[in-house]
Amino acid sequence: MYETILLPFDGSEGAAEVLHHASEIAHRVDATIQVLYVADTTRDSVTVVEGETVDALLQQGQDVVGEAAKTLDTLGVSYDTDVVQGNPAPTIAEYAERFDQDLIVMPTHGREGVARYLVGSVSEKVVRLSTVPVLSVRMQPDETLEFPYGNILVPTDGSSAATYAADHLVELAASLDATVHALSVVDDSALGPDVRSTISGTESERAATDAVDAVVESAESRGVTNTVRHVEHGTPVEEILDCVESNDIHLVGMGTTGRRGTDRILLGSVAEKTVRSAPVPVMTVAEPD
């Protein structure tokens, strides 16, 4: 499924758990982990030590990837390390594309509970910029990190972006012998109170059912033996989170869409909100432009 996994790593608190999680994935799919430290050129890090000009962040980066390497040695995972300079988010996205990385595992920070957020963070920007699938793994004590993923939730609205992501996720599920939960949400808040809303609601439910059926058919065609259909009414993000909690979901996977670069937006903002709030890892997959 993946031959190379890019792991941006800064050695911060909680990052070790994400390193172990990435190692579990690498072991399962026989992948090489590329540990990457980005020395942030937007910060002033050059100093003079004993008359010699040095970049403190570059030195810190070497120390950080060195510690990661020691851990990966004990875990028996194939790996490489690299320290580069640049603006972190675009540098990570460009690095992944330039060196043909198959997956980016992004350690993310956030507040606990409803107030958790990623707004403006490096992780959020990488999700927006990356043409490579991004697995956002939060470094919080209330997060669930379980691998292999036994239950994978694939929210879909039937769009081309959602379908492209679903194909990637069901392939992953097949490789892990996981159960695919296909979910589509009829957003009742978008319906008006008049009689036309009844017709609109019926059409929306039919479209949601068709979207779920398409994911299930794709999963079954790839050899996934266990599938569950979910067609719910409500607010998409709330229904996704409810489904995660009530079905012991280990991974949520969904699509992103938009123009390349800083203008890339997440699918209806639902993916963005899910990345911010889900208590399990979230994989976002960008549809090619």
Each residue's pLDDT tens digit, 191-243:
555 544 554 568 889 999 999 999 999 999 999 999 999 999 999 999 999 99
Give the per-residue pLDDT at 194.
55
Give the per-residue pLDDT at 184.
96
Give the per-residue pLDDT at 260.
44
Give the per-residue pLDDT at 210.
96
Tokens of 134: 């991004």
Kindly list the distances between the CA atom of residue 89 and the CA atoms of 77, 126, 164, 226, 261, in Å, as whole numbers in the listed order: 26, 5, 24, 37, 11
Give the per-residue pLDDT at 187.
84
Distance of alpha carbon 26 from alpha carbon 139, whole angstroms: 19
pLDDT confidence bin for 256, thresholds 50/70/90: confident
Give the per-residue pLDDT at 45.
56
Q: What is the rounded radius of gyration, in angstroms, for the C-alpha atoms of the chain?
A: 20
Tokens of 127: 């999700």
pLDDT confidence bin for 147, thresholds 50/70/90: very high
What's the mean per-residue pLDDT of the chain? 85
Nearest to 111 by CA among 157, 156, 79, 142: 142
pLDDT digits (tens, 9 = 90+) for 56-101: 788 889 999 999 999 999 999 999 999 998 889 999 999 999 999 9
**First-to-final CA distance of the chain:** 22
Which residue has tokens 């639902």?
Answer: 270
Give the per-residue pLDDT at 9.
93
Q: Tell me what percent of the residues of the chain surpass a pLDDT of 70.
A: 81
Q: Tell me what percent of the residues of the chain surpass a pLDDT of 90.
A: 61
Distance of alpha carbon 108 from alpha carbon 168, whole angstroms: 22
Residue of 211 and 121 predicted with greater confidence: 211
Give the 3-state secondary structure of residue 269: helix
Q: What is the pTM of this model?
A: 0.88
Let me know if 93 is exposed, middle or buried by CB neighbors in 10 A (0-12, 13-18, 19+).
buried
pLDDT confidence bin for 43, thresholds 50/70/90: low
Nearest to 211 by CA among 194, 241, 186: 186
Which residue has tokens 């509970």?
Answer: 113
Give the per-residue pLDDT at 93.
95
Give the per-residue pLDDT at 111.
42
Give the 3-state secondary structure of residue 217: helix
Residue of 218 and 190 predicted with greater confidence: 218
Give the per-residue pLDDT at 251.
97
Give the per-residue pLDDT at 112.
43
Give the per-residue pLDDT at 193.
55
pLDDT digits (tens, 9 = 90+) for 157-181: 999 999 999 999 999 999 999 999 9
Give the per-residue pLDDT at 133.
97
The CA-based angle 176-180-184, given to 5 degrees, is: 150
Distance of alpha carbon 154 from alpha carbon 170, whole angstroms: 8
| pLDDT over threshold 60, residue 141 | yes
Residue of 268 and 73 predicted with greater confidence: 73
Tokens of 124: 């959020």
Give the per-residue pLDDT at 254.
94
